[in-house]
Amino acid sequence: MNEEVYARRKKVNALMFALTAVCAAVASGTLLAILGYIAWKGASSISWAFLTNIPKPLGEQGGGIANSIVGSAKVVGLAGLMGIPVGVLAGVYLAEYGRGKYAFAVRYAADVMNGVPSIVVGLFAYALIVHPMKKFSALSGAVALAFIMVPIVLRNTEEFLRLVPGTIREAALALGVPRWKVTMFVILPTAGRGILTGALLALARVAGETAPLIFTAFGNRFSDNGWLNPIATLPHTIFTYAISPYEDWHNQAWAAALILMAFVLLVNVTARVWLRPSSGTSH
């Protein structure tokens, strides 16, 4: 082979390798940069009082985000209670029974739904619940988040159910066990860890959603008052504080963002550690 051509190829190879490595660094570096910046800006404003107090009246310094933390927990929790069972059972349908046109339509709809802008989902929940009830509410926020969770949980459940080997299904059927029992008591537990992990990740994902909550949960500067009244949530509070003209609110927004990021990161890491199969139980 010609020496010159070979040298040129080696140079191009080195260049392309360097390019891919730099892009990989940008991709992973973004997370570190966000985490670092938020920690730098937010850490100084975090205190016990910040976590346990509700906001001070307008114009006064200080106050906290206790109501937003509780509100986020309530709205996301209720969204999970509604969205996870629907998503899991629909996933069971697709994986175990879904062959015809209906299943194709459901699967396609779920994929499209995954790409629908979350603010549109918020508008839908507004039209569905807020408008008829003539009231912003924790419930409407939870419904909006549940709509976002369902397709994520559904597709994840289907994927993990499909990973269960057909031989396991055959083994259970051959024992004279009815089909639905095979699905509920053999197949579902076998995929259980993956399904639960997906559900946790979906919770973490919607915990950070802001747009669907703007005209559903609406926000509240006081402690919440039941499911049918407006409620403060972390992402929405961050949004409100960040666009305000007050320096004190800006600092609180950074601190609240740090809390939210820490929560999402914690759930993510927990879910991934949990999913990793422990050594003695499988090969």
Query: CB of 274: closest distance to another protein in angstroms?
Result: 15
Query: CB of 139: closest distance to another protein in angstroms?
Result: 36
In the complex with another protein, the residue whose CB is nearer, 134 or 276, is: 276
Hey, what amino acid is at 102? Y
Distance, in Å, from the CA atom of 194 to the CA atom of 207, rounded to the nearest integer, reads 20
> To the nearest 10°, the Cα dihedral for 148, 149, 150, 152?
100
Instruction: Please say whether the beta carbons of 156 and 111 come within 8 A.
Output: no
Backbone angles phi, psi at 231, to 5 degrees: -140, 145
Please list every residue from 142 through 171 that binds another protein, using CB under 8 A: 165, 167-171
In the complex with another protein, the residue whose CB is nearer, 113 or 168, is: 168
Query: CB of 165: closest distance to another protein in angstroms?
Result: 7
- The whole-angstrom distance between residue 125's C-alpha and the CA centroid of its chain comes to 18
Query: CB of 193: closest distance to another protein in angstroms?
Result: 9
SS3 label, residue 231: strand
Does 283 bind another protein (CB under 8 A)? Our answer is yes
DSSP of 80-112: HHHHHHHHHHHHHIIIII--SHHHHHHHHHHHH
Distance, in Å, from the CA atom of 11 to the CA atom of 13, rounded to the nearest integer, reads 5
In the complex with another protein, the residue whose CB is nearer, 169 or 205, is: 169
Please list every residue from 169 through 208 that binds another protein, using CB under 8 A: 169-178, 181-182, 185-186, 189-190, 192
Q: Which of 218, 233, 247 is nearest to 61 (CA)?
A: 247
Query: CB of 268: closest distance to another protein in angstroms?
Result: 25
Please list every residue from 68 through 107 that binds another protein, using CB under 8 A: 99
In the complex with another protein, the residue whose CB is nearer, 61 or 282, is: 282
Radius of gyration of the chain (CA): 24
Does 29 bind another protein (CB under 8 A)? Our answer is no
Q: Which of 207, 108, 91, 208 is nearest to 159 (CA)?
A: 91
Query: CB of 89: closest distance to another protein in angstroms?
Result: 20
Distance, in Å, from the CA atom of 207 to the CA atom of 256, rounded to the nearest integer, reads 13
Does 61 bind another protein (CB under 8 A)? Our answer is no
In the complex with another protein, the residue whose CB is nearer, 2 or 281, is: 281
Does 282 bind another protein (CB under 8 A)? Our answer is yes
DSSP of 166-178: HHHHHHHHTTT--
Q: How many chain residues interact with another protein (CB under 8 A)?
A: 25
Does 280 bind another protein (CB under 8 A)? Our answer is yes
Query: CB of 272: closest distance to another protein in angstroms?
Result: 20
Which residues lie near another protein (CB under 8 A)?
99, 165, 167-178, 181-182, 185-186, 189-190, 192, 280-283
